[in-house]
A and B are shown apart, each in its own frame.
Chain A
Amino acid sequence: MEYKKTRQGYVDGLKELAKTNDQILVLDADVAKATQTFEFEMEYPDRFFNCGVQEQNMLSVAAGLALEGYTPFASTFGVFATCRGGDQMRNSIAYPKLNVKVGATHCGLTTGGDGASHQANEDIAIVRSFPNFTILVPGDYEEAKQATIAAASHEGPVYLRFGRDSYPLVPQVHGAFQIGKAKLLQSGSDLTIITTGIMVSEGIKAARQLETLGLSIRLLHLPTIKPLDTEAVIAAAEATKGIITAEEHSVIGGLGEAVAGVVSENCPKPVLRIGMQDVFGESGQAQELMDKYGLRAQNIVEAGQRILTQFYSTANV
């Protein structure tokens, strides 16, 4: 299996955009080597602005550039953008609905060694609560590149979420990227697995495992968290007995709660959420942390089995 960085997809997308769109500007806050935007700087030095360690200023500067007609991509780590820069994300960008793109890398547990302070596991929750923001959480390098390109032609604030690590390439998600559209990877009638971001590969693995148990699995990938593809989610709820969501993010305020909200209001079915269980992470290698914090195919499989035993086995008697 081939592995690639989603943040590389970000900068490759930016470079692609810049070829034909001279309104694209890239800002960074002294983490250009990490976000990879230094590659953009090398090719387009006049359209790159290193704001130093000033996330708050960078985000409001981006708002100012957008007011003047530019399409700025403000780049930093997810924690710095959404927690340090939460006010600027809300009042400078979301509220006036400005055409600012926030490229956030080092999101989620797989940020690894830097530890909990740097692992944004609540960024989706924060940004989801701001009206006007579109949230894109691509699953691999290719989807990250596509999402970045799609963000530029979407008028309005977009939060792009990338990781730090290298992640498996998932050819199943490489079809046309459309903001707000889920990708139905396969139909099935027993359970639905809904993934976002890099959990797509774990979701696919889990589906294979559940299939060996004789179950029919529907597999839905949501690279857009907001606006949520409610139609696809309701269709999944209608077609199967229950849903397992999987995200590299807190179960509070992320994909799981978004799905649960739609399902409970339209077609109530059990929804079990795989993600960070309201705890901070810690330092470690990405892979061992995913094991320790339960972000694995096996955890999805167990949740699926729990849906069938807890909600259906007695009813069938």
Chain B
Amino acid sequence: MLTTETKRFLIEKVKTVRHEILTMVHRAQSGHIGGSLGAADITVALYYHLMKHDPQRPDWPDRDRFVLSKGHCTPLIYSILGDCGYFPREDLTTFRRPGSHLQGHPFQPKTPGIEASTGTLGLGLSTACGMALAAKLRGENQYYYVLCGDGEIQEGQIWEAAMFANKYKLNNLIAFVDRNYLQTDGYSEDIMPLDPLAPKWESFGWEVHKIDGNDLEQIVATVQLAQQSEKPVMIIAKTLKGKGVPFMENAAQWHGKPPSDEEYQMAIQTLY
């Protein structure tokens, strides 16, 4: 259970992050808004409540790691890392600009707080498997969190990683699939059906939870449960793509389109 105070704090953070996402993509006139907005609750819950990390020591060996496997949602992770203090907030104004460390997709060598380079879909979960395996080899007990898109898990490599995590009993791996049912070209079940999704992961040997991924209470409670798992964990988090901006909600066209000046103003005014 979250205290009222913590919950209020997290809700405020989510709103701040969503505001920043809109501003970053509008300023750059490039970037992915919809998925970033939808997964804000999950990622805020991780960074501001669940994860053990220290922005002043991004290389701290005992930190929990987060891998953004759906690498296009950089507006989300950069907003959070900037707010946490991994780098100066002003850097956010350089998103997607030449010379910036804030590349369109995460580039680990340059951005403090980014744990793994991703971009082409499917890489992140495998990379996190390698990282989690390393922790097992060293007998360490930090957690490795991964955020996958639902479109992303159509990639074959995801299911390779699913088998691998089961084989090596990576119960320090806690993954989310951002289940918003929308991908670039439309409704996921039209493009390439994924349902029933939970049995797929269960049959691959994972512990599976289904939650409302826009509900902070559920996110926190489920992750705390997942931390006790004997198996790798997949949290199927039903989210609303574009969450927080009414006219962007559940609309595939806001996957990768930047808002015009007018749309940006409207988004900021209606943000909730």
**Which positions in A face B, CB cutoff 8 Å?**
46, 49, 51-52, 54, 56-57, 59-70, 72, 87-88, 91-92, 95-97
Contact = CB atoms under 8 A, between A and B. Distances in A.
7 cross-chain pairs, A with B, having the tightest CB-CB distances, nearest first: A64-B130, A60-B126, A68-B134, A57-B160, A61-B130, A54-B160, A64-B131
B133 A60 contact: no
Contacts of A63: 116, 123, 126-127, 130
A72 B9 CA distance: 42
A54 B130 CA distance: 13
Main secondary structure of the interface of B (DSSP, over half): helix
B128 interface: yes
Interface residues of B, number: 31
Given A65-B131, A67-B115, A95-B117, A52 B163 contact: yes
Given A57-B164, A61-B127, A61-B129, A67 B119 contact: no
Given A68-B131, A68-B135, A70-B134, A97 B126 contact: no
Main secondary structure of the interface of A (DSSP, over half): helix
Interface of B: 107-109, 115-120, 122-123, 126-135, 137-138, 156-157, 160-161, 163-164, 167-168
A69 B130 CA distance: 11
Instruction: Point out which of A60, A91, A95 has the most chain B C-beta atoms below 10 A from its C-beta.
Output: A60
Nearest to A70: B134
A50 to B, nearest CB: 9
A72 B132 CA distance: 14
A68 B137 CA distance: 11
Contact of B108 (A54, A56, A67, A87): A67
A66 B134 CA distance: 9
Nearest to B158: A57
Nearest to B131: A64
B134 A87 contact: no
Nearest to A56: B157
Nearest to B162: A57
B134 to A, nearest CB: 3
Contacts of B128: 64
9 contacts: A49-B133, A54-B160, A54-B163, A56-B157, A57-B126, A63-B126, A64-B116, A88-B157, A96-B109
